[in-house]
Amino acid sequence: MNLNEMTVVKTAEAVNNQEISARYLIERTLEQIKNNVKLNAFACTAGAEAFEQADAVDQKIKSGYSLPLAGIPLAVGDNIAYKELPTAYGSAAFRKFKPPFSAAAVEKLIGAGAVVVGKINTGDMGFSSHKALSPAGPVMNPWKENRISESPGSAALAARQCMLALESDSEGSLRQGASSCGMYGFRPTPGRVSRYGLNLSSGSYDQVGFAASTATDMGITFQATSGYDERDILTSVSREAGPKPDPNKAPGEITLAFSPECFDQLDSISAKHLKQFQAKCLDLGFKVVESSLKLLPEALKAFYIIAYAEASSSFARFDGIRFGTAAEADELEDLYYKTRKLTFGHEARRRSVFGTYILSKGNFEQYYQQALKVWTLVRQDFNNAMANCDFLVMPVVSGAAPSGIEENDFLQRIESDIFTAPVSMACLPSLALPAWQEDGLPAGIQLVGHPFSDEILLNVAEMINTETIFPDTDKSAWEEG
Amino acid sequence: MNYEVVIGLEVHVELHTQSKLFCACPNRFVPEPNVNTCPVCLGFPGALPRLNSEAVNLALSASLALNCKVASISYFDRKNYFYPDMPKGYQISQFFEPIGSNGFIDIEDDSGNPKRIRVGRVHMEEDAGKLVHSLAGDMSMVDYNRAGVPLIEIVTEPDLRSSGEARKYLEKLKSHLEYVRVSDCKMEEGSLRCDANISLRPKGSDKLGSKTELKNMNSFKAVEKSLEHEIKRQKKILDAGNLVVTQTLRWDDNSQQTVAMRGKLQAHDYRCFTDPELAPIVLTEEEIEKARVSLPEMAEARACRFVEEYGLPDYDAGVLTASRNVADYFEECLKVYNSPKAAGNWIMGELTAKLNSSGQEIEQCPFRPEHLAELLKMIDENVISGKIAKDVLEKSFESGKSPGQVVSDEGLLQISDQSELETIVDTILENNSDSVENYRSGKTKAIGFLVGQVMKETKGKANPQLVNELLKDKLKK
Ligand SMILES: [Zn+2]
């Protein structure tokens, strides 16, 4: 059996049928991580506890159980709590920190049979590697030398160092990374999946999401993790499941909208590909219409004002008094300065400083309150745009995977969020799916749905059915199987 | 010069809930540090706050009891500042939209005229932990047991004009909050904390003078004293033609004076904004109305009713209604016993004395209202004497036995048997011929001595009225 390009669905089936063992899958995965350490996707990898988990899964199956994610090697973002492994938040001060609890989504995935193979190397405080560096440096893109991945989980997935990744998405790093690695990246409707255990920088925008290699895999992952969790009040909207997809619905009954303003924001090559994708949708039989999104540039600015403000406050808890590494200091104020310097990288510091400025007397009205008003308008803008369609089809980024991070062009990096951050603001579910390749690098589009249409969205993604391609690697631990 | 005193009070009250404001940790005092803590109230990354609806209900009741307008939608905001006792680096409070606003409390001013004190706002917030310093002074430790305990802050407009008014306001406030069972309001134990803003201005001026803030007062008495002290201090400064420096002062109970707080003088910018991790509190018209109608009868109304319904003197009615638990006890007793005056006297007298000496609260003491009723009935029916009744109360209070049980166990039944008493009376008369002579020669006071002798002989159990009659009868002969 060649497991090289196996999906979650097929692999779990093989484990449930006892054709392969969960233990074997974990062994192969850990070897595959070792085979390509220069990818730098993992902050730490699992040891004995992963094998214990795998054996427990095998045992359960032997005693007659069937698990939807049986033995699936799972990578977990380093800003998401997992009590068995250090959760470092991309910070030097938390290298050995084990949180006293695991995130709700981690618990659910493990409960469904998945096995955590390691914590993925998110940037400073969990921000995108595109904007922020962890002490371990950037996560590389397995498709091309000197290119990075905004989502370490997608990089690990494309390099077959896991079959599923649990990550956070705020301004869109998960979707962007999935796009630049040729994978699927899903940001569910806020409240569908519990955020308990995710280190929130922005309570307004941060969500947990997943990277997987097919839409079907995403579907079962979402099913295994969504639902009400009393520890996250936002999930009270999920007491009832979202509307179920109608399996008999033909593409002709589904309307996809493309926005002319998105084309305007794209470089010519990406615009050309998006046009071709639009034609493909017509070929597949979907109804295709135009919908205007008027406020993307304004949304982006407002997004960052609010995200910075919230980060400056959320990060105040990192004071070295209850957790993490505290710096040596004689005075309280000195303790704060030194500990926070040790804890935060450039991006977290930038957000703390800008956010503090934004919330300060005088600036609060001018920036923060204005941004809140823009937020309301952005939601209206999306509402209007979606009034005549079932889904919006939007670019993820203009161009292909970015090259390595340079500290001084952060404004430019913010601009690359123009398609993803506004969608986060509008509180809509969004799936990045592979759409084309250019110059050896993949790129995706986002399928944006109405609130709570998550299941239908994943179902439509299956109908679009783009093929997932993995990059070639020198050596694969999977082929030996 | 003649000055007008302007005082505003900020009172923090701990809400009497089962659990903390945003987590399931118990809201209860324990001496061991950091026992009542969890990832939420310790501010761990990834732990999310979850609003305790019991706290909202209590804050709603408190707002209504203080005659506030209740906001149909109010928010939780983050007040950002660093301090080790503040786990998240911000306090969750209601800055922009408090749950209650524009309320009032009616008091009497220093000359006994009615006066309305405006309550500007009532808002919910979480408490901070506590810093503990080592004896050697080389270490500071933090106890987060209290972090996240629900509080309401009640802020008056600057309507108070004297330390006496401030004290009366606090007493009224405490009574209101106790009546709605929001808090036990024990200042000594920190469940009620009070800060005062105070300034002086020339009489007739409507411009406020520069104010000082007083902290660290741990009793109503301390509030009154520190305000008096501060009024004198500011007057002296102003009389000398100087300006009062705006600062925060600490009341020092030992030296009985206000002391400037150490630490840097800095204007805080708390950078408040609405907490994105918490949903707003939404209260429907029906919910507010439901809470309003379920408010208990408050102290003043109850005292008036006690006067009308039970014919109690104003003073008694005031004392019996000062605490809701005492008033409840009283009325509970009256359900099975119908002499309000006697019941009131026993509660205000013997029972209160017993409660004070044993340090117990009326609602927890083993001597229940039905016990008091039983005791009073026994007196009325001449089963025991009033004097014996005091012993019975004492014993019943100690043992939890009913008064009837105590009387039969201890053989305290009153002797009302005429022939039995006659024998005793005869013996006493025989043995005290001097007194008998005295009485017969007109010194009628001597009968008191003889009654006393009979009571002594019977260990207080003789029916005093019957003894009196018997004695008088026999002495006439
Ligand atoms: Zn707690």
Q: How far is the CA of B58 from the centre of ligand 1 (A)?
A: 19
Q: Which of A443, A470, A392, A468 is nearest to A273 (CA)?
A: A443
Summarize the confidence of residues A396-400 as an average pLDDT: 90
| Domain count for chain B | 3
Q: Are strands A184-187 and B114-126 parallel, antiparallel or unpaired?
A: unpaired
Instruction: Quote the radius of gyration of chain B (alpha carbons, Å).
Output: 30
Residue A364 with chain B: CB contacts under 8 Å: 271, 273
pLDDT at A240: 67
**Between chain A and chain B, how many beta carbons pairs sit less than 8 Å apart?**
94
Q: Are strands A430-438 and B69-70 parallel, antiparallel or unpaired?
A: unpaired
Identify whether the C-beta of residue A52 lies closer than 8 Å to the C-beta of residue A117.
no
Contact state of B50 with A364 under an 8 Å Cβ cutoff: no
Q: How far is the CA of B147 from the centre of ligand 1 (A)?
A: 8
**Dihedral angle over CA of B142, B147, B152, B154, nearest 10:** 20
A305: contact with B, CB 8 A cutoff: no
Question: How confident is the model over A5-38, as pLDDT tens digits?
Answer: 789 999 999 999 999 999 999 999 999 999 999 9
Residue indicated by tokens 């922005």:
A202
User: Could you say which of B388, B410, B432 is where a domain stops?
Assistant: B410
Beta bridge partner(s), residue A118: A45, A75
Residue B39 with chain A: CB contacts under 8 Å: 99-101
Q: Are strands A430-438 and A391-395 parallel, antiparallel or unpaired?
A: unpaired
Same domain, B311 and B256: no
Quick one: residue B216, left, alpha or beta (phi over 0 = left, psi -120 to 50 = alpha)? left
Using CA atoms, how far residue B7 sits from A406, B30, B169, B199, in Å, is 58, 35, 11, 7
User: Could you say which of B251, B266, B286 is where a domain stops?
Assistant: B286
Calpha distance B269→A251 (Å, rounded): 56
Return the sign of the alpha-carbon dihedral for residues A295, A300, A305, A310: positive
| Domain count for chain A | 1
Q: Which of A189, A197, A190, A187 is nearest to A231 (CA)?
A: A197
User: Could you say which of B265, B286, B307 is where a domain stops?
Assistant: B286
DSSP 8-state symbol, A365: I
B87: contact with A, CB 8 A cutoff: yes
pLDDT at B469: 85
Query: Chain B closest CA to A17's CA: distance in Å?
Result: 37
Question: How confident is the model over B114-135, as pLDDT tens digits?
Answer: 999 999 999 999 999 999 988 8
Q: How far is the CA of A317 from the centre of ligand 1 (A)?
A: 15
Quick one: residue A428, left, alpha or beta (phi over 0 = left, psi -120 to 50 = alpha)? beta
Identify whether the C-beta of residue A217 lies closer than 8 Å to the C-beta of residue A8.
yes
A206: contact with B, CB 8 A cutoff: no
What does A201-266 look like in DSSP terms, one character per residue?
A: S-TTT-EEEEEESSHHHHHHHHHHHBS--TT-GGGGGGSSPPPPP-TT--GGG-EEEE-HHHHHHS
ipTM score of the complex? Answer: 0.94
Summarize the confidence of residues B257-261 as an average pLDDT: 85
Contact state of B84 with A332 under an 8 Å Cβ cutoff: yes
Question: How confident is the model over A302-318, as pLDDT tens digits?
Answer: 999 999 999 999 999 99
Summarize the confidence of residues A86-91 as an average pLDDT: 94
**Boundaries of domain holding A127:** 8-252+431-479
Q: Which residues have CB less than 5 Å away from ligand 1 (the ion)?
A: B 23, 25, 38, 40-41
Contact state of A203 with B43 under an 8 Å Cβ cutoff: no
Structural tokens at position B456: 């002594």
B139, closest residue in chain A (CA to CA): A330
Contact state of B45 with A317 under an 8 Å Cβ cutoff: yes
Amino acid at B351: L
DSSP 8-state symbol, A403: B
Identify whether the C-beta of residue A119 lies closer than 8 Å to the C-beta of residue A85.
yes
Identify whether the C-beta of residue B229 lies closer than 8 Å to the C-beta of residue B249.
no
Same domain, B374 and B471: no
Query: Chain B closest CA to A119's CA: distance in Å?
Result: 16
Query: Chain B closest CA to A79's CA: distance in Å?
Result: 9
Cβ neighbours of residue B319 closer than 8 Å, sequence gap 6 or more: B348
B145 domain residue, yes or no: yes
A130 domain residue, yes or no: yes
B309 domain residue, yes or no: yes
Calpha distance A444→A433 (Å, rounded): 5
Identify whether the C-beta of residue A163 lies closer than 8 Å to the C-beta of residue A114.
no
B34 domain residue, yes or no: yes
Using CA atoms, how far residue B132 sits from A68, B10, B148, in Å, is 51, 25, 18
B184-201 b/e (C-beta count within 10 Å ≥ 16 → b)? ebebeeebbbbbbbbbbb
Using CA atoms, how far residue A422 sits from A27, A379, A408, in Å, is 41, 9, 24
pLDDT classification of A188: cutoffs 50, 70, 90? very high
B33 domain residue, yes or no: yes
A231: contact with B, CB 8 A cutoff: yes
B71 domain residue, yes or no: yes
Beta bridge partner(s), residue A208: A168
A33 domain residue, yes or no: yes
B131: contact with A, CB 8 A cutoff: no
Q: How far is the CA of A231 from the centre of ligand 1 (A)?
A: 12
Cβ neighbours of residue A386 closer than 8 Å, sequence gap 6 or more: A257, A291, A392, A428, A448, A450
Identify whether the C-beta of residue A352 lies closer than 8 Å to the C-beta of residue A132.
no
B128 domain residue, yes or no: yes
Q: How far is the CA of A319 from the centre of ligand 1 (A)?
A: 19
Same domain, B229 and B257: yes
Count of positions (residues) in chain B:
477
| Domain CATH code at residue B450 | 1.10.10.410
Q: How far is the CA of B37 from the centre of ligand 1 (A)?
A: 4
A324, closest residue in chain B (CA to CA): B44
Same domain, B227 and B321: no
B263 domain residue, yes or no: yes
Decide: helix, strand or coil at residue A92: helix
A401 domain residue, yes or no: no
Return the half-sphere exposure (C-beta side, CA atoms, 13 A cut-off) of residue B195.
Answer: 14
A353: contact with B, CB 8 A cutoff: no
Structural tokens at position B472: 């008088």
Identify whether the C-beta of residue B49 lies closer than 8 Å to the C-beta of residue B34.
no
Same domain, B313 and B443: no
Summarize the confidence of residues B155-183 as an average pLDDT: 96
Structural tokens at position A125: 């405080």
Q: How far is the CA of A471 from the centre of ligand 1 (A)?
A: 47
Residue A317 with chain B: CB contacts under 8 Å: 43-45, 87-89
Contact state of B273 with A309 under an 8 Å Cβ cutoff: yes
**Boundaries of domain holding B305:** 297-410
Query: Chain A closest CA to B76's CA: distance in Å?
Result: 13
Calpha distance B151→B288 (Å, rounded): 20
Residue B217, pLDDT > 60, answer yes
Which is more confident, B448 or B197?
A: B197
Same domain, B47 and B8: yes
Structural tokens at position A97: 């920190």
Summarize the confidence of residues B176-200 as an average pLDDT: 93
Same domain, B330 and B276: no
Quick one: residue B459, left, alpha or beta (phi over 0 = left, psi -120 to 50 = alpha)? left
Task: Out of A102-111, A181-190, B421-430, pick the least confident.
Answer: B421-430
B90: contact with A, CB 8 A cutoff: yes
Residue B279 with chain A: CB contacts under 8 Å: 233
Amino acid at B12: H
One-letter-per-residue 3-state SS of chain B: CCEEEEEEEEEEEECCCCECCCCCCECCCCCCCCCCCCCCCCCCCCCCCCCCHHHHHHHHHHHHHCCCEECCEECCEEEECCCCCCCCCEEEECCCCCCEEEEEEEEECCCCCEEEEEEEEEEEEECCCEEEECCCCCCEEEECCCCCCEEEEEEECCCECCHHHHHHHHHHHHHHHHHCCCCCCCHHHCCEEEEEEEEEEECCCCCCCCCEEEEEECCHHHHHHHHHHHHHHHHHHHHCCCCCCCCEEEEECCCCEEEECCCCCCCCCCCCEECCCCCCEECCHHHHHHHHHCCCCCHHHHHHHHHHHHCCCHHHHHHHHCCHHHHHHHHHHHCCCCCHHHHHHHHHHHHHHHHHHHCCCCCCCCCCHHHHHHHHHHHHCCCCCHHHHHHHHHHHHHHCCCHHHHHHHHCCCCECCHHHHHHHHHHHHHHCHHHHHHHHCCCCCHHHHHHHHHHHHCCCCECHHHHHHHHHHHHHC
Q: How far is the CA of A274 from the centre of ligand 1 (A)?
A: 50
Calpha distance B6→B211 (Å, rounded): 9
Residue indicated by tokens 């044993």:
B358
Q: Which of A73, A69, A74 is nearest to A112 (CA)?
A: A69
Summarize the confidence of residues A315-336 as an average pLDDT: 93
B292 domain residue, yes or no: no
pLDDT at A481: 47
A202 domain residue, yes or no: yes
Summarize the confidence of residues A283-292 as an average pLDDT: 97
Question: How confident is the model over A67-83, as pLDDT tens digits?
Answer: 999 999 999 999 999 99
pLDDT classification of B265: cutoffs 50, 70, 90? low
Same domain, B422 and B399: no
| Inter-axis angle of helices A104-111 and A215-225, nearest 10 | 110
Same domain, B233 and B329: no
Q: What is the mean pLDDT of chain A?
A: 93
Residue indicated by tokens 């938040």:
A89
Residue B319, pLDDT > 90, answer yes
Identify whether the C-beta of residue B148 lies closer than 8 Å to the C-beta of residue B39.
no
Q: Which of B50, B148, B91 is nearest to A313 (CA)?
A: B91
Task: Out of A392-406, B2-16, B393-407, pick the least confident.
Answer: A392-406
Calpha distance A356→A369 (Å, rounded): 14
Mutation target among A200, A231, A305 for the B interface, most CBs of B within 10 A: A231
Residue A249, pLDDT > 90, answer no
- Backbone phi, psi, residue B228, to 5°: -60, -45
Identify whether the C-beta of residue A345 lies closer than 8 Å to the C-beta of residue A91.
yes
Q: Count CB atoms within 10 A of the CB of residue A478.
A: 19
Structural tokens at position A112: 């469904």
| Domain CATH code at residue A455 | 3.90.1300.10
Calpha distance B159→A58 (Å, rounded): 73
Nearest to A196 among B46, B51, B142 (CB): B46
Summarize the confidence of residues B152-171 as an average pLDDT: 97
Calpha distance A137→A144 (Å, rounded): 17
